[in-house]
Structure 1
Amino acid sequence: MPLIGPEGIDSNTRSLRRIASRASMAKAPKTHPMAFAARSLFLALAIAAIHPVGVAQAQTAGADTGARAHYAIAPGPLADVLAQFAALTHTPLSFDPATLAGLRSDGLNGPYSVDEGFRTLLRGSGYALDAKGNGMWSLRRVKDTDANGAGSVTETLAPVVVTAANDAAKSLNPPTTVGSKEALSARDIPQTVSVVTQDQIQALAMRTVDDAMRYAPGVTTEVNQPGFSSYYSRGFPISTIQFDGVPTGIVTSGISGPTEGLAAYDRVEVLYGPAGILNGFGGEGGIMNLVRKRAPEQFEASAQISAGTYSNGDVQADIGGPLNAAGTLRGRVVVDEQYQHEMQDTTWLRNQQFYGTLEADITPTTLVRVGASYTDIYGKLMYGLPNNTDYTTPDVSRSTYLGPDWNWFSTQRTNAFAEVEQKLEGGWTAKLSYNFMRTTTDVLTGALFTNDVALDQAQHYSVNTQDANTQNALDVYATGPFALFGRTHHLTIGASYLHTNDVTNQFLINPDSGLDFEGDLYAPLTDNSAYSNDFAGGPQNDVTTDSTQFGFYGNARFSLADPLTLVLGGRVTWWSSDSTPSADPNDNYFGNVATRDHVTAKFSPMVGLIYDINDQHTLYASYASIFQPQAGDETVSGQVIKPLEGNQFEVGEKAEFLDGLLTTNIALFHIREKNRAESDPINTGYYIAAGEAQSQGVDLRATGKLTDDWKIGAGYTYTDWRNYDDSFTAHQSFSVVAPKHVFKLWTSYTLPGELRRWTVGGATYVQSRTFYKDSSGFLSNNTLPSGTLVAGGYATLDLSVGYQINKHLNASLLVTNVFDRKYISSLTTGGIGTYYGDPVKVLFTLRATM
């Protein structure tokens, strides 16, 4: 069988979009100024050590059809796996993937010649290769297929030529695992999903999850305090973060979840709406999945240095490839350091991240993967602006620092993981995953809240919060095809376990220290008695929380007809949480009482229907349930209030245009939720489960390529929310996180002809106003009966230009908030924590790749 030319993969059919995920995962990002010479030496030595192996392997892969090379292609739909192997072996194979719908392959993992590889993939499928002449190959249907894939011809399939030209589009629309345990195209998932790809991460110089969520369609961000953010979609919280599909106890808010750096991750996947089947609980807003970078099969290396305004700097090195001649052992290392001054005077932040991973093909059917990352973030930050008692927001310079000299933020996170993936008979795969995470945080907070406009003064709040959060997570599942009523279907079954221990110590300011005072809002606050051990002399509040979650889950995809798929899923969950305050009254300042809550065998269902109108258009509908415990909100009897419950209905259409280069999605959603926590009107400081909320609207998405040189990612979300208790007794304000209109656009264009080395791009973020209606007068210190706090709508524009100096070196310039728009990016519902968005910033990046 001849190997001809760099023919690749057609994205004409949705199942083939999964092909590019391995290629996109092998790419890398960025880098900053600290011991740069030492890091450069490390990079050079590492390249010298690994590069010869990569070259040898690449030469082997280009041999004749009788020569063997190592291939590792995961099990999946037969059309997908064939196209992957054809691309890797440069075989010009043409076929219509729709004719292979419902057929799956065990994939490849081991040494194969090209002939052996195709015979292995096609064995038992009822198809064989057919020479078309001119070096081209197609598939033919056979009967009485023997063990070698031979048989008599009954039909030659209509050809659809597979090309590599669409690989770039696939990198913009990669398959996702956020809605399933296996990688699926968006058209195979009956809910709205989006992906922030490595291409976007590099183009917009994204450093953290906050940056990624800014341009994830339909997502809004609320800053809880510097370094800690909550993310929302459709007016509700995106409740949990996954790492490579393994759920964690990190909610996207609170002291145990600092915003994550992106250096170790290939992409960020978001599923919108409830997703409790694989996640444990189905929070209303959705889930986020951080996909780690994998060890590449061929040598790759990159180094990047960035510098910009506000002393903004970043240095990153990323190197990986095979570690032995056979390619059965692979590794990758990423080192990243970031430093920047914040917009407020005297504030700054440093972020150091280290990541390493190893992959080993223990046998041709067994893959073992291990890795670890360590993140250290620290700096001096300001903890938001106070709102005014007349229901206006602050109007001060963005550079104004309001706080004492000793404000401090420090967090360290260690994350270790291990995976074993085993291919089984009949196209089935089993996978066992373990994830360990420990996060420690030490925050010194001196901040202002509730500015009294009559006195022109704000109250001062001071606290030292120390937290240690430890998590252990296990997930095991099996997935594969099964036959029923003459058709092939697909089943995933599994179980997961998560244990979280959280120890929080709060040291309140000693009233006698002189640090607890009221200060003029418009004059910088100074600390007249520099921080030493003053907190130790004040009240203390210590709480330990242990929670355990265990469950079984299943998801079946029934092929009712060639164009029609029924998706049925469910999960049964057991959950318990114990919160224990300190037994010493001196360490229990708020008088907390021990609480215990549990859920036994709670069933969370999901139903979806997918109908392929044709090769381009798919209609879908889905129902998903909401179930989310509300640990931390207690009734007067000391019990945790009832869990949030509700449901979401979603219908939509997903499509591909321009031969799969461009994908679109339109969705209509309706979410109803009950048991929202509200302040107990009789017992101050306690809560009752009485609130209800509703959100409905439309999501519009378009991602991919308009031409070979023009990339685009756009999203518009309209949200019509109803909060059935809009007084201050509502524990969370719905309107603050649910602007009616959110529009996001990212684009880049490579200039034609002699200017092809140049790429220009831009991004815009448009959001309508957010507001909070206070019917109790709380925010006015009860000087007014009620009022509405409003943050106006805004639009920002980012512009970029890049120049490809040569095939290894690229330079780019990014300007964010070009028109220096002053706006409030996060509006608090209380008296503290309103934040301005960043002013205009400029960042220059030089990136080298091998």
Structure 2
Amino acid sequence: MQMAGVGLLLASSPAWVMAADASAGQSADAGLTLDNIEIKAAPQVETGDGPIKGYVAKRTTTGTKTDTPINEIPQTISVITRDEMDQRGVQDFNSAVAYTPGIRAIDYAGGQGAPDIFLRGFRAFNLFGIYQDGLRTGFNQYDTNFETFGLERIDVVKGPASVLYGQMSPGGVVNLTSKRPQDEAIHHIEYQAGSYGRQQFGIDLNDRLTDDGSLIGRLVMLRRDSGTQVDHSPDNRTYIAPSITWKPNDSDTLTVLAAYNKTVTGGSEQSFPYIGTVQRSPSGHIDSDTHLGWLGSYYHVETTSIGSIYAHDFANGWKFQQNLRYMHSVVGFLSSGPDVVLNPDGRTQDIGLQYRPKSSNTLLMDNNIQGSFNTGAIRHTLITGIDYSHYRAEETRLNGDPEDAFNNLDLYNPVYGGAPVWFDSLQRDTRSKMQQVGIYVQDQMKIDRWALTIGGRQDYARDHEEDAVSQSSGTQNDHKFTGRIGLAYLFDNGVTPYVSYSTSFQPNPDTDINNKLFKPTTGKQFEVGVKYQPEGYNASVTLSAFDLTQRNVSTADPVNTGFSVQTGEIESKGLELEGKASLNENLNMIASYAYTHTEITQDNTYEGNTPRNIPRHTASLWLDYSVLSGPLDGLGIGAGERYVGSSQNQQNTLRTPQYFLTDATLRYDLGKLGLTGTKISVTANNLFDKHYFEPGYYEDSVFYGNRRNVIATLGYDF
């Protein structure tokens, strides 16, 4: 084992190609010298789940579970690369997808739990649509969170994807790929300081552990102590993610991925009233940093996971792969929020408390066999597999209030204090158990320039709930077949038109007046589009149009007040355009636009309304330029503009205005001054500190958008 000096450099460097320079005129018996040898680094080979140089990904495994060129997959796919995240100064999931059309993550300052996202107009709450390393990230919004410093890339597939992933929102799937061992050495440390007292230290180390490269290890760590724009609400995190890859021979590869993520934030539900924020009240405007709750509230989540990715290549071109992960989560959550968003006096909220500790265990596994073969002139890439998920959770909930003197919070002049006063009995004491089994098969067929994708899947899902307080229990069993068919034609000039039809399903936990469980909601989508990868340029453009419908949606029972019936329907039609380019070593670009017309087409209360939080128009543009010569050599500058159209509450009685946000970054390679491997950057999100709002969870509430956030990063590669 060689871990230092010249041995380390040789063991961890890329493969080297050595070729004699014939033009040097040296005879064979004169021997080889440095003058007649050319040394070239072997180019990086792009894979569907690996790192990418620049902004443009051309392959993905998320869209088909096989390593496939993106232009052959008959659905819209966006990829956020590590280079893009680094140049834009991405610090969280919301900023990572901020320039991606068709996906909206709610900027919930001081909020709790995993990101709250909408895909093509449909909410993917409780992680219905967020995956990591090909497996679902969990089954409850509050059981986990994500650290973007630990990610290699983010792949977003738009539209129904149940054919490969089972129960999910019809809007699509987001797959987070963890940093994992690579052949090239990585020795990176960084320190950050910024707005709200942010202090963060990160480390990313990757190296060969054996001379022959059969064992490679990686360690990613992060520690953050920070405040937020909300008073008395921290944003602290400890993240540790070791991984190791073992290649004992040419046929087998085993990667073990472990992670520990502890997040500490405030527990106040920051639901501001519409009057006093978007609309001025007689008392003025409520400050964005106002803590809307009890100061003792908190949200702590500690998630530990261990998993593996095993692949065996058979000699005949077939491959077996297994993805496996076990997660254990412990949540401490003392939440505080309004009983009503605004009291009749127009300036106060009544604050309620809820103590809701929870623990959960999740097991996820996906086994598949894939391979290629020919039937006449048709080339097939076939995959068939079975996946399994199991989730168990225990949670109690105890309600209370701050003591009377502090229960009524003046939003314009808040006074905090008091002890909690808990009610005598538990509100809930639940045990949850969810299981899912899915069997899928997919065939990607190519003949000449045609690419046809056909897939089908059968799912069996079971949810059992018990509540010791109400002494009740219930079991819901769902089964559903979903599929996808799509056709693409690959022109020589890089243009690929395509058409597809895909379906999805999502379990619905509601019941009717007779306590009869509802059927799963179902989704179906027709999509047409064209993808363009111009020859000679590292660029990609996708233009798509879609018609997406979700059925079996719950709606109010028109006869029995307080109950639901399953007759609702939501339609989403739209157009999306995305272009990404790494035109040379100097210039990177992102441009996007999305038009999303979403309508509640069947409902006993809201028919004809636009669903909550869905803007009709969004657009963005990002440019990044690096100076590679002259007196400014080593300087880099990036700037971006984001536009988000107006959106409404569920009743469509309140509207949050449209807004433009400007982001910018400035960086310099201090190696040009003799500090080899050292770089410094300054990133600002919402540079001009624009005040903007998004519809809140309550009909007459809003969330304050993220205020200006400036972060300086000092990085060192050695």
Q: Which amino acid aligns with 1:484?
A: T
Question: Which residue in the other structure is 1:598 paired with?
Answer: 477
Match of residue 617, structure 1, among 481, 495, 512? 495
Q: Which amino acid aligns with 1:836?
A: Y
Which whole-Å deviations, capped at 9, do the CAs of 1:510-532 have from their partners, x for residues lacking one? Answer: 69x54884433323142323x4x
Q: Which amino acid aligns with 1:288?
A: V
Question: Which residue in the other structure is 2:23 paired with?
Answer: none
Correspondence list, 1:431-450, <5 A:
431-448=321-338, 449-450=340-341
Conserved in 1, the CA contact under 8 Å of 2:134 and 2:323? no
SS at match of 1:397: coil
Question: Which residue in the other structure is 2:32 paired with?
Answer: none
SS at match of 2:247: strand
Conserved in 2, the CA contact under 8 Å of 1:213 and 1:231? no
Conserved in 2, the CA contact under 8 Å of 1:50 and 1:322? no
Question: Which residue in the other structure is 1:542 paired with?
Answer: 429
Does residue 489 of the first structure (1) align with residue 489 of the second (2)? no
Correspondence list, 1:572-587, <5 A:
572-582=458-468, 587=469
Q: Which amino acid aligns with 2:713?
A: T
Does residue 654 of the first structure (1) align with residue 531 of the second (2)? yes
Question: Which residue in the other structure is 2:504 paired with?
Answer: 626
Question: Which residue in the other structure is 2:134 paired with?
Answer: 245
Find the aligned partners of 1:597 and 1:611 in 2 and give their Cα distance: 43
SS at match of 2:226: strand
Find the aligned partners of 1:217 and 1:259 in 2 and give their Cα distance: 23
SS at match of 1:400: coil
Does residue 738 of the first structure (1) align with residue 614 of the second (2)? yes
Does residue 796 of the first structure (1) align with residue 664 of the second (2)? no
The CA deviation at 1:272 is 0.7
Does residue 222 of the first structure (1) align with residue 111 of the second (2)? no
Conserved in 2, the CA contact under 8 Å of 1:218 and 1:233? yes
Question: Which residue in the other structure is 1:263 paired with?
Answer: 149
The CA deviation at 1:345 is 2.1
Conserved in 1, the CA contact under 8 Å of 2:272 and 2:704? no
CA spacing shift, 1:823–1:728, aligned 2, 3 Å: farther
Question: Which residue in the other structure is 1:811 paired with?
Answer: 680
SS at match of 1:736: coil
Match of residue 689, structure 2, among 820, 824, 845? 820
Question: Which residue in the other structure is 1:201 paired with?
Answer: 85
Find the aligned partners of 1:658 and 1:614 in 2 and give their Cα distance: 9
Does residue 186 of the first structure (1) align with residue 70 of the second (2)? yes
Does residue 747 of the first structure (1) align with residue 659 of the second (2)? no
Does residue 501 of the first structure (1) align with residue 392 of the second (2)? yes
Find the aligned partners of 1:556 and 1:407 in 2 and give their Cα distance: 52
SS at match of 1:310: helix
SS at match of 2:682: strand
Match of residue 564, structure 2, among 663, 675, 687? 687
SS at match of 1:672: strand
The CA deviation at 1:249 is 3.5
Match of residue 9, structure 2, among 33, 42, 55? 55
SS at match of 2:243: strand
Question: Which residue in the other structure is 2:214 paired with?
Answer: 328
Question: Which residue in the other structure is 2:244 paired with?
Answer: 358
Conserved in 2, the CA contact under 8 Å of 1:266 and 1:292? yes
Q: Which amino acid aligns with 2:156?
A: V
Find the aligned partners of 1:515 and 1:637 in 2 and give their Cα distance: 44
Find the aligned partners of 2:228 and 2:363 in 1 and give their Cα distance: 34
Conserved in 2, the CA contact under 8 Å of 1:493 and 1:554? yes
**Residues matched between the structures, number:** 682
Match of residue 310, structure 1, among 196, 218, 242? 196
CA spacing shift, 1:822–1:91, aligned 2, 3 Å: closer
The CA deviation at 1:656 is 1.3
Say which is worse superposed, 425-434 or 271-280, in terms of deviation. 425-434
Q: RMSD value over aligned CA atoms?
A: 3.0
Q: Say which structure is richer in helix.
A: 1
The CA deviation at 1:499 is 0.6
Which whole-Å deviations, capped at 9, do the CAs of 1:681-722 have from their partners, x for residues lacking one? Answer: 444443221211111010000012234411011211001111
The CA deviation at 1:58 is 5.5
Conserved in 1, the CA contact under 8 Å of 2:572 and 2:596? yes
Conserved in 1, the CA contact under 8 Å of 2:328 and 2:359? yes
Question: Which residue in the other structure is 2:310 paired with?
Answer: 420
Find the aligned partners of 2:475 and 2:332 in 1 and give their Cα distance: 27
Of all paired residues, the percent bearing the same amino acid is: 22
Match of residue 234, structure 2, among 327, 331, 348? 348
Which whole-Å deviations, capped at 9, do the CAs of 1:204-239 have from their partners, x for residues lacking one? Answer: 222222332323322112367434432112101242
Q: Which amino acid aligns with 1:749?
A: Y
Conserved in 1, the CA contact under 8 Å of 2:267 and 2:336? no
The CA deviation at 1:726 is 6.7
Conserved in 2, the CA contact under 8 Å of 1:726 and 1:773? no
Question: Which residue in the other structure is 2:27 paired with?
Answer: none
Conserved in 1, the CA contact under 8 Å of 2:341 and 2:701? no
Q: TM-score, normalised by structure 1?
A: 0.75
CA spacing shift, 1:89–1:498, aligned 2, 3 Å: farther
Find the aligned partners of 1:352 and 1:185 in 2 and give their Cα distance: 36
CA spacing shift, 1:708–1:528, aligned 2, 3 Å: closer
Conserved in 2, the CA contact under 8 Å of 1:204 and 1:814? yes
Conserved in 2, the CA contact under 8 Å of 1:509 and 1:516? no
The CA deviation at 1:659 is 1.3
SS at match of 1:54: helix
Q: Which amino acid aligns with 2:716?
A: A
Question: Which residue in the other structure is 1:115 paired with?
Answer: none
CA spacing shift, 1:389–1:642, aligned 2, 3 Å: farther
CA spacing shift, 1:59–1:195, aligned 2, 3 Å: closer
Question: Which residue in the other structure is 1:297 paired with?
Answer: 183
CA spacing shift, 1:204–1:685, aligned 2, 3 Å: farther
Find the aligned partners of 1:167 and 1:306 in 2 and give their Cα distance: 24
Question: Which residue in the other structure is 1:552 paired with?
Answer: 439
Q: Which amino acid aligns with 1:555?
A: Q
Find the aligned partners of 1:349 and 1:573 in 2 and give their Cα distance: 38
The CA deviation at 1:361 is 0.9
Gaps of 5+ in 1: 1-45, 67-86, 98-104, 106-165, 775-786
SS at match of 1:363: coil
The CA deviation at 1:405 is 1.6
Find the aligned partners of 2:259 and 2:13 in 1 and give their Cα distance: 33
Find the aligned partners of 2:473 and 2:563 in 1 and give their Cα distance: 14
Say which is worse superposed, 546-555 or 198-207, in terms of deviation. 198-207
Question: Which residue in the other structure is 2:291 paired with?
Answer: 401
Match of residue 236, structure 1, among 114, 122, 147? 122
CA spacing shift, 1:832–1:438, aligned 2, 3 Å: farther
Match of residue 698, structure 2, among 817, 830, 839? 830
Conserved in 1, the CA contact under 8 Å of 2:488 and 2:497? yes
SS at match of 2:530: strand
The CA deviation at 1:380 is 2.7
Find the aligned partners of 2:409 and 2:449 in 1 and give their Cα distance: 67
Match of residue 452, structure 1, among 343, 365, 368? 343
The CA deviation at 1:485 is 2.1
CA spacing shift, 1:391–1:406, aligned 2, 3 Å: closer
Question: Which residue in the other structure is 2:575 paired with?
Answer: 698
CA spacing shift, 1:627–1:455, aligned 2, 3 Å: same
Find the aligned partners of 2:703 and 2:221 in 1 and give their Cα distance: 31
CA spacing shift, 1:831–1:461, aligned 2, 3 Å: farther
Find the aligned partners of 2:430 and 2:39 in 1 and give their Cα distance: 55
CA spacing shift, 1:752–1:808, aligned 2, 3 Å: closer
Conserved in 2, the CA contact under 8 Å of 1:510 and 1:538? no
Which whole-Å deviations, capped at 9, do the CAs of 1:421-453 have from their partners, x for residues lacking one? Answer: 100122111111211112221111122232135
The CA deviation at 1:737 is 2.7
Gaps of 5+ in 2: 21-37
Q: Which amino acid aligns with 1:662?
A: A
